[in-house]
Amino acid sequence: MASRCVNVLVLLATWGTLAGGACAADLEEAYWRGKQELVFGRYATAVTFFTQAIASNGQNGGAYRCRAFASLLSGQPEAAIRDFSAAIRLEGKQAVLYYGRGSARALQGDAEQAIQDFSEAIRLDPDYLAAYRSRLRLYRDCGESRKHRDDLRRATELSRSDAFRGRPLRYRATEAADLIGGTYVDLWSFPAYACWVSLFREARELKQTPSGFETMLRIRLPTPESYREDAVLRAVQREFDKSLASLDKASRLNPSDWRTYRLRGVICIVKGDLPRAETAFSKAIELKPADSELYFQRGQVRILLGNLEKGEEDITESARLLETEGERVTRESRNGSGGTP
């Protein structure tokens, strides 16, 4: 029952109004079916339905906005950028659209253009907390320490202010996901977005192609690490079955390596296979039970699956482990500096 209520709430609150004056039955059906797919994390399928909605009314900016977010959450930043740009042209300048386009550009690794979009989102909505959080990450990565500190200070102020009362400041265990639509989106509340960010970043660091990897495998002994690298590179190309096959090989070489199961969970999330993602994270937790991030990821998946009670338990355990780790680091820092334990 709880799962059904959450799904209904997400369906009703997601996306805002799309149809406007359009009353074509095929537009409405495609739109609502696309939203249903979003609720269950099947973003690639949602893209297909929103494409049908656009075919019915190519001047409806809401349809482009919907497809843009669905494309972004399915790991297609270039398509998302095109649709966000179309939505801006049709709907006018809105902070949420610049935030979305900036997020897509950040996923591509285009920090300069992403910062410009986040800055425009902040200009249009000076209280846009998610835009500050995204921009400060880029400033940090680019070595802009002063700008990073300024954004961090502002984000901290906003998170404590009444301006964001009722907005999604963090992932809440009572929500299936942050709601896309209206005037505010926080993509970091969507497990798929965080997973894509991790995969794209790791793929850029590897700086190699699957074909190059296959050549490398023929000249040296395969390892679990090399198979995980191959899995990442194939995942960002949306070759999910081949990616998971590489992880199967990694597991056979070392069945007790928790990193392989964590990566399997991440790839299953972006593929839209949430039940297998839950199984993978559970195995990773079995092998590394003190990892707060693993509990957080499994908790998010369980909530999306409608298991709110167990998801809430995982989120709570993640917070406890993170606090324990923070206390340990503080003690070690004090000991290392000659302070009192």
What is the predicted pLDDT for the residue at 63?
83
- Whether residues 153 and 182 share a domain: the answer is yes
Rank 32-36, 82-86, 170-174, 180-184 by mean pLDDT and report only the highest. Answer: 82-86
Same domain, 48 and 64: yes
Domain finish residue from 189, 218, 240? 189
pLDDT at residue 173 greater than cutoff 60: no
End residue of a domain, out of 129, 158, 189: 189
Using an 8 Å Cβ cutoff, are 103 and 188 in contact?
no
Same domain membership, residue 142 and residue 91: yes
Residues 229 and 310 in one domain: yes
Tell me: do 260 and 157 sit in the same domain.
Answer: no
Domain end, chosen from 159, 189, 219, is at: 189
- Tell me whether residue 341 is in a domain: no
For the chain, the straight-line distance linking the first and the last C-alpha, in angstroms and rounded, comes to 49
> Strand, coil or helix: what is 156?
helix
Same domain (yes/no): 204, 325: yes
The predicted pLDDT at position 62 comes to 80
Residue pair 181/13 in contact (Cβ under 8 Å)? The answer is yes
> 174 and 239 in one domain?
no
Residues 183 and 216 grouped into a single domain: no
Of the candidate ranges 15-19, 25-29, 69-73, 310-314, the one whose mean pLDDT is the lowest:
15-19
Give the max Cα distance, the chain: 73
Residue 216: the pLDDT is 54
pLDDT tens digit sequence for 218-249: 445 788 998 999 999 999 999 999 999 999 99
Dihedral angle over CA of 252, 253, 259, 264, nearest 10: -30
Q: What is the pTM of this model?
A: 0.76
Residue 111 has pLDDT above 90, yes or no: yes
pLDDT value for 327: 63
CATH no. for residue 34? 1.25.40.10
Instruction: Provide the pLDDT for residue 204.
Output: 87
What is the average pLDDT across 163-189?
50
Whether residue 42 is contained in a domain is answered as: yes
Range of the domain at 274: 194-336
Which pLDDT does position 176 carry in this prediction? 31
